[in-house]
Structure 1
Amino acid sequence: MASGVRRIRRLAAATALVTTLAPVLGWTSLAYAQAPTGKPGERMVVDARELVYDKDNNTVSAVGDVQILYQGRTIEADRVVYDRQSKRVVATGNARITESNGTVITGDRFNLTDDFRDGFIDSLRVVNTDKTRFSAPRAERTDGEVFVFDKGIYTACEPCVDQPERPPFWQVRAARIIHKKSEQMIYYEDARIEFAGVPIAYIPYMSGPDATVKRKTGFLAPKFINTAALGYGVGLPYFINLAPNYDLTLTPTYLSRQGFLGQAEWRHRFVNGSYNIRAAGIFQQDKDAYLKSPLGAGDDTFRGSIETSGKVFLNPRWTFNWDVAGATDRYFFKNYRIRSESLTTTSYLQESTSTVALNGQSADAWFDMRGYYFQPLTYYDWQKQQPIVAPVVDYNKRIHKPSMIGGELSFTVNITNLTREAASFKSLTPGNQDYLVKSGGDAATGRPAYSLFDGCIVYDKSKCLVTGMAGTIARATAEVDWRRNIVDPIGQVWTPYASLRADLFSINPNTTKYANANVTTIADASDEVFGRAMPAVGLMYRFPFIASTSWGTHILEPVAQVVARPNETNSLRVANEDSQSLVFDDTNLFEWNKFSGYDRVEGGSRANVGLRYSGTFGTESYANLLVGQSYHLGGRNSYTSGDLVNVGLNSGLDTRRSDYVAKAQYQPFKGLLLQAGGRFNESNFEAQRIDASAAFSYKFLSTSVAYGRYEPQPDLGITRRREGLSITQSVSFAQYWSVRGSVLFDLDKYKYDRERYRDALALYQSNPGAYTNPIYPNTGPFQTASTSVGLRYQDECTIFDISYNQSYADRAVNGARTNDTRTVMFRLELRTLGEISYSQNLGSSSAGDGVSSSSR
């Protein structure tokens, strides 16, 4: 053995031996026994195959499978040398440090201080607990919390298992990356973003919070916008973390054509709730980009919106919540691409709905009181025809197994009050009002000036349905009902039922303010208060038969229900506001009252009968079937007594024997579900309503097909058959990659186009100077209503999505499409770095959005 060198090899109890001899060897700063009275977290444990003490060089070396534990850190290496003079530790060979928080640092060579906090690391690789990664040829750590990576690389992507040397999907490569843990920030100097090793963007300087941060003041990902009316725009959100429970986000957006759009959002969370306030506004520079009022907001200099939503838990059972929004005009949200939680969009309307509500519930009771305000956002809706609904009170209380009678007793209360300035009508013979709109309109009311070809500008009972009465309408409803299930010895289930319902109405119609809303033929102009009562008794019978075979288990259950009531009263005096939708199908075959709301109530005696089947075949296959019919037994049939909206007529229930309803489901194996349902004429079995779908999903493929066909309902103003087919499909064609697409066909519209052409031609021939000569629509049955295609990539660190959507509204009488919208949307999300999204309208010819034709 060389002079001045002592070598001690590890015995069976290696750790105990090393920690015992370390103080003797002079490696006091690495010795477990250096301070017997010290705190356990400050003691050091060393484990190695052997210790080498070099007295000449004043070093101590741990050699072979070295593992050192100190202050929550663990260092592992093939060899660790401690220089007592410089108080430096050098680790080489598979060197690795595991921090107390789980972060793993690896490198070829560590040169650290004796507490492992500071030093230099060669060929550094850092893997954080959130699976983000840093690497650099050389890095320096100072003060135990500042890492400086020279020629550093950062990514949140995991390396490829099969080819770990391949670049990750994305990474940030910078001349220097500085990670300051005390600030929880990462700074990048001379950075470029690479995808699959290819640089795509250069950024001289950028910074962002590290993965430990959830809230920190700073800039967020920019937002981009481009439309003809707005020009090119970019918004740069700035997040201000004012406190752990409240913050403010300011988003100034520069629009090359309209100037600066300001947006702000305040969020506040407190002990028993939270709320937010959002506001947006602009003094638009180029008002000519928009149509003049009432077809646009081209007359306005300032435009804006304000919204607030929140929820407060008053106690464990009671909550108060609100979602309120308002805009200076109906076009603001759409024109300036403002995202609003209050928006409700369907194929037929777009509106902003504001609500305020108080809700309470217990194990057997529920209470809800709320109010509604609706702001229409489409050009053909009129604000004065929208109701203000407040309050709406709902209460329900259930008592299980009440004494003496058993079963379940239920109490229900509903109170509704609404006001409307102008009555809303719907034409029984729809004309071309949506296609022959004249420019201009009624500036005083904001209502567009429709062509006189529309059959219901002024109320006429023979031509119009009243979808909303002007004035104040109030109703109070209280109902108590009881039911009980009784199973007899042979398995028959008997459910007796009894109820008593009372309603009180108050109607104060407005008949004088608007000439085109004259409702003197509907109700008396004075206050009208009336009531009604509806007692009912009934019985439901079920007798399930169960059979087990070698290929499945089957349940066949005949169901019969009888209910007796007096006639419904005052149906023509009721301003029907909440019972305007009635679809008779399998879901309400056995409902005691098939009307959808409280304003109408079913009267007369009725029997509902049906046959149910359900079967299971193995563990994944099953089938269900329901077939049934309803019979009017006595009294006046409520569904033949059309109200002001003719609800009940053409429903399939307006005959003594109703139409047949049926619904079937079949899953032959997991991943494939077939469904079909419909309503069929009771005399000739012709289909009145059909809904069918097929959905298949297996590994990389998901697809669905849906078909619907609904016959005309002329008493409801629906004069043509509606028929459509939709196809939706998604395919995963490679790891992380998928493509999707959908298409919706209007299969019956081509007939309507030709009928409309005929009517428009007649109008043109009667007044050639007022209208354009229409072009014959040479269309086939497969008219596209909407299409969508998209491409998506998603892995553990990246989401990339690009899609194209096109919706086709009605074809105008001159042969050109109107209200078509074509949009490309792009979204890129890099985990921990942020998200960029962008949408672009491509040559939209959308009418009714308030944009002038010169700006399309």
Structure 2
Amino acid sequence: MASGVKRVARFAAATALASSLAYLLAGPAFAQNRAAGANPAPAAAAAAKPQDRMVVDARELVYDNDKKTVAAVGDVQILYQGRTIEADRVIYDQGNKRVTAIGNARITEANGTVITGERFNLTDDFRDGFIDSLRVVNPDKTRFSAPRAERTDGETFVFDKGIYTACEPCKDNPERPPLWQVRAARIIHKKSEQTIYYEDARLEFAGIPMAYIPYMSGPDSTVKRKSGFLSPKFINTSALGFGVGLPYFLNLAPNYDLTLTPTYLTRQGFLGQAEWRHRGMNGSYTIRASGIFQQDQEAFLPSPLGPRDKEFRGSVETNGKFYINPRWTFGWNASMSTDRWFYKNYRIQNESFSSTTYLQEAISTAYLNGQSPTAWFDLRGYYFQPLNYQDWQKQQPVVLPVLDYDKRVHKPSFLGGELEFNVNITNLTRDTAAFAELPQQKTYLITTPSYALYDGCAIYDKNHCLVRGLAGNVSRASVQASWRRNFIDPLGQVWTPYASLRADVFSINPDTKGVINSRVSTIADTSDEVFGRVMPAIGLMYRYPFVAKTDWGTHIIEPVAQIVARPNETNSLRVANEDAQSLVFDASNLFEWSGKFSGYDRLEGGTRANVGALYTGRFGKEAFANLLIGQSYQLGGRNSFASGDLVNTGLDSGLETNTSDFVARAQLSPFKGFFLTGATRLNSTTYEAQRIDAAATYSNNIITASIGYGRYEPQPDLGISRRREGLSLNGSLRVAENWRLRAGVLFDLDKYKYDRERYRDAYASYLAAPTVAAVPVYPNTGPFQTASTSFGINYTDECTVFDISYSQSYADRQSGATKDTRTVMFRLELRTLGEISYSQNLGGTSSTGDGVSSSQ
């Protein structure tokens, strides 16, 4: 053995030190005592603080007194200040106070970060030093690598020729480049700033450079909130030009922040947007504002079809929710804009929007809500702003307040069963009455934006006009108490008696001056009035389930019969029906105790029986089926559904005759992932389908597909003269790992009939005046008229989301659109780096629906 060198063979040598491996140099005897199992000197143990204590585990320790080094050799593991250092060999140089780890070196930080390399050269406290062939894996699975890296001040990492990625390496070929990575001349990670800086960087996809970035920075994995620039936003339309928005996030405090987004538009100038978010001890709120002084107003249509007369355009949106206590909350969701086209023109989205394929209206509401296990209270108000060119603001009601209260008492001592109390109070105000002409709804907005004319409805006539809403003030207060209880007799029959009492008070103050130019609409009685109604009800439901078990499943057949007796409904023509206009009679409301109207304003009267049969089947572990079919009968009194109100609710519903249409609902799942659903209403005498809703869906980890079909016969008494029929096909297919294709199409199966009717009318006009009218073109089309199409491709993995899609909505001439809307959307999200999204309208736009000039 060389002079001054001492080897100590150990299987698990562990030593507690005051600060570093230097304590091992106190002498070989101490190490030998530890190897033999002796306790360390009490003074040494007392000198070592728990947070500074170091534990060394190795196969052997080698001391060199001449060089003043100690080496841990073979499966070395060192635990110190929450870190774990592993290597084939670790050498401590007392003179230079350096620690060198060689061979399969690895450091695991207290936060879970793993640092590996071929050689570590660190200070004795492991704060600073150099690392060769470095790889860093953070707890959030982000990764750094570099041929050489340096750590200084215990908090700054400098990666020379560094590489950063959030993608996991390929399991089969770890050396293959990840899907994306950032390769830079230098990557600097400053822990104190929680920031990573990239110098002379390029973004690579699959190892191929795609973008060069001279300098950029971003937060590290420990950051939840930090001031800085966010991903840019792009916009490009004919009316706005090309625009780029660069959001800047201001982290003002842990509980509030501000985001400013200036967007430059080549045609309209600067659009300013700001979003303020604030979270308090018991809730949070958000305020968003947008505004622009337009440079080119000629890009839009003149009033009332567009916002050409407005130099400044903008919007304000806010929402919030606060918890008063565990049961009570109050909040709001409000949105206002200078004009109805602003949101669509400038692509500003808000959760208060109500939309389908295009924006319909912005709904503003404020509420107070309370809940308990047996009670529910809700007080709120509504304001509606139309966002399409057809609707008129003066026809939109301001609803304030709407109060709902429900209380349930389970098993009241004197009755048993369930006792329920319901209260509803509604008040609304409308500047101008909303009319529609029969047999087809027609509302024309004319050149003067302050009012509208109602074709054919200047004077109210029940046979020719519908009243969607009265001008003036309408109020109603409703209170109801109801009780029901289930009894099961020895034969298994279920009997459910029911009783209720409801009282309503109405106050109607109509305003007949809502239309200008002496076109005053007169409705039966326009005097102010207060009236009420009282509606008691008693009823009984009977059910008798029969259970049968076979080799291929369990079957339950259950006949159901219900009878409810009420006096006749009163004042149906005096009631301004505001909340019960939507009536769809189907299997879901066949046995509804409170009646089949959707709101409070109308109330079912007379004596009515509802009968049906329910089948439920279970087949094996996954398959099931259920079917309900039934019918309703008016046994006595006046049929509420045969006497329409001001909007004819109840007519053409299938309930207007004493024997109603048949309703049915079915569900079937023959195996896991495959579902068939359907519902229909059949004429009681001809059995012709009046409504059909059907769908089939299938889903597994490879394919998802759905087919939907709907057909609704005309309802001329409600102003719907055309049959509505549509077919939708949607699906997605996983074509490879992480890759999925999707597509969808919606067919308007009845449009070709409407097109031919329009041709017939146009041809008649041509025959009447061939020198004036143009020769119409015959629509040589079939029933499969496309209403909309879409398709796209998506890639998603642990670090990347890529999506590109195309959609086309075909022009609806009745709603004022003149051209199809074709849109391409692109989205790329790189985890931890940010997201870029872009959408582009291709070609045509609606010349009236969005207020954009047709010349654009």
**What TM-score do the two structures reach when normalised by structure 2?**
0.95
The answer as to 2:375 corresponding to 1:369 is: no
1:277 corresponds, among 276, 282, 287, to: 287
CA distance in 1, matches of 2:373, 2:829: 43
Note the 1:453-852 alignment, pairs <5 A.
455-456=456-457, 459-515=460-516, 520-592=521-593, 593-762=595-764, 774-811=776-813, 818-852=818-852
Shift of 1:348: 8.2
Is the 1:120–1:138 contact (alpha carbons within 8 Å) kept by the matching residues of 2? yes
Which stretch of the first structure deviates more once superposed, 776-785 or 556-565?
Answer: 776-785
User: 1:607 and 1:770, CA in 2 relative to 1: closer, same or farther beyond 3 A?
Assistant: farther
Is the 1:173–1:192 contact (alpha carbons within 8 Å) kept by the matching residues of 2? yes
Is the 2:433–2:514 contact (alpha carbons within 8 Å) kept by the matching residues of 1? no
Is the 1:582–1:595 contact (alpha carbons within 8 Å) kept by the matching residues of 2? yes
Note the 1:152-171 alignment, pairs <5 A.
152-171=162-181
CA distance in 2, matches of 1:547, 1:217: 67
Is the 1:27–1:60 contact (alpha carbons within 8 Å) kept by the matching residues of 2? no
User: 1:519 and 1:403, CA in 2 relative to 1: closer, same or farther beyond 3 A?
Assistant: farther
The residue identity in structure 1 corresponding to 2:523 is I
1:312 corresponds, among 319, 322, 326, to: 322
Is the 2:255–2:279 contact (alpha carbons within 8 Å) kept by the matching residues of 1? yes
The residue identity in structure 1 corresponding to 2:13 is A
Shift of 1:253: 0.3
Is the 2:424–2:477 contact (alpha carbons within 8 Å) kept by the matching residues of 1? yes
Which stretch of the first structure deviates more once superposed, 161-170 or 513-522?
Answer: 513-522
In structure 1, the gaps of 5 or more residues are none
3-state SS of 2:47 partner: coil
Identity, % of aligned pairs? 70
Note the 1:39-438 alignment, pairs <5 A.
39-346=49-356, 350-430=360-440
Instruction: State the match for 2:14 in structure 1.
Output: 15
3-state SS of 1:750 partner: helix
User: 1:777 and 1:15, CA in 2 relative to 1: closer, same or farther beyond 3 A?
Assistant: same
User: 1:817 and 1:252, CA in 2 relative to 1: closer, same or farther beyond 3 A?
Assistant: closer
Query: Deviation string for 1:586-617 (max 9, x for gaps)?
Result: 10010131000001000000000000010101
Which stretch of the first structure deviates more once superposed, 280-289 or 405-414?
Answer: 405-414
3-state SS of 1:662 partner: strand
1:444 corresponds, among 450, 460, 483, to: 450
Is the 2:676–2:696 contact (alpha carbons within 8 Å) kept by the matching residues of 1? yes
Is the 1:291–1:850 contact (alpha carbons within 8 Å) kept by the matching residues of 2? no
3-state SS of 2:559 partner: strand
The residue identity in structure 1 corresponding to 2:201 is A
3-state SS of 2:252 partner: strand
User: 1:487 and 1:331, CA in 2 relative to 1: closer, same or farther beyond 3 A?
Assistant: same
> Could you list the runs of 4 or more consecutive aligned residues of structure 1 that deviate by over 6 angstroms after TM superposition?
16-21, 431-434, 764-772
Shift of 1:444: 3.4
CA distance in 1, matches of 2:61, 2:467: 96
User: 1:767 and 1:509, CA in 2 relative to 1: closer, same or farther beyond 3 A?
Assistant: farther
User: 1:711 and 1:348, CA in 2 relative to 1: closer, same or farther beyond 3 A?
Assistant: farther
User: 1:347 and 1:103, CA in 2 relative to 1: closer, same or farther beyond 3 A?
Assistant: closer
User: 1:136 and 1:17, CA in 2 relative to 1: closer, same or farther beyond 3 A?
Assistant: closer
CA distance in 2, matches of 1:596, 1:423: 22
3-state SS of 2:641 partner: helix
User: 1:352 and 1:762, CA in 2 relative to 1: closer, same or farther beyond 3 A?
Assistant: farther
Shift of 1:38: 2.0
The residue identity in structure 2 corresponding to 1:6 is K
3-state SS of 1:15 partner: coil
Shift of 1:698: 2.0
3-state SS of 1:587 partner: helix
Is the 1:818–1:847 contact (alpha carbons within 8 Å) kept by the matching residues of 2? yes
User: 1:627 and 1:517, CA in 2 relative to 1: closer, same or farther beyond 3 A?
Assistant: farther
CA distance in 1, matches of 2:718, 2:698: 36
Shift of 1:525: 2.8
CA distance in 2, matches of 1:817, 1:442: 20
**What TM-score do the two structures reach when normalised by structure 1?**
0.95
Shift of 1:457: 6.7
The residue identity in structure 2 corresponding to 1:170 is W
CA distance in 1, matches of 2:673, 2:292: 51
CA distance in 1, matches of 2:525, 2:518: 14
Shift of 1:626: 0.5
Query: Deviation string for 1:609-646 (max 9, x for gaps)?
Result: 00001010111000101110101101100010011111
User: 1:412 and 1:639, CA in 2 relative to 1: closer, same or farther beyond 3 A?
Assistant: same
CA distance in 1, matches of 2:538, 2:746: 46
CA distance in 2, matches of 1:699, 1:318: 42
Shift of 1:101: 0.8
In structure 2, the gaps of 5 or more residues are 35-39
Shift of 1:218: 0.6
Is the 2:235–2:840 contact (alpha carbons within 8 Å) kept by the matching residues of 1? yes
CA distance in 1, matches of 2:279, 2:713: 52
Is the 2:148–2:160 contact (alpha carbons within 8 Å) kept by the matching residues of 1? yes
The residue identity in structure 2 corresponding to 1:832 is T
User: 1:347 and 1:36, CA in 2 relative to 1: closer, same or farther beyond 3 A?
Assistant: closer
The residue identity in structure 2 corresponding to 1:249 is T
3-state SS of 1:800 partner: strand
Query: Deviation string for 1:451-482 (max 9, x for gaps)?
Result: xxx55576543322111111111111111111
Is the 2:25–2:70 contact (alpha carbons within 8 Å) kept by the matching residues of 1? no
User: 1:477 and 1:17, CA in 2 relative to 1: closer, same or farther beyond 3 A?
Assistant: closer
Is the 1:123–1:135 contact (alpha carbons within 8 Å) kept by the matching residues of 2? yes
CA distance in 1, matches of 2:30, 2:166: 40
Query: Deviation string for 1:102-142 (max 9, x for gaps)?
Result: 10000011010011110000010000011100000100001
Is the 1:432–1:756 contact (alpha carbons within 8 Å) kept by the matching residues of 2? no
Is the 2:313–2:342 contact (alpha carbons within 8 Å) kept by the matching residues of 1? yes
CA distance in 2, matches of 1:596, 1:348: 26
Is the 2:439–2:718 contact (alpha carbons within 8 Å) kept by the matching residues of 1? no
3-state SS of 2:413 partner: coil
User: 1:681 and 1:849, CA in 2 relative to 1: closer, same or farther beyond 3 A?
Assistant: closer
CA distance in 2, matches of 1:285, 1:265: 24
User: 1:393 and 1:17, CA in 2 relative to 1: closer, same or farther beyond 3 A?
Assistant: closer
Is the 1:423–1:519 contact (alpha carbons within 8 Å) kept by the matching residues of 2? no
User: 1:8 and 1:313, CA in 2 relative to 1: closer, same or farther beyond 3 A?
Assistant: same
User: 1:784 and 1:457, CA in 2 relative to 1: closer, same or farther beyond 3 A?
Assistant: farther
The residue identity in structure 2 corresponding to 1:464 is C
Note the 1:23-42 alignment, pairs <5 A.
23-25=26-28, 36-42=46-52
Is the 1:399–1:410 contact (alpha carbons within 8 Å) kept by the matching residues of 2? yes
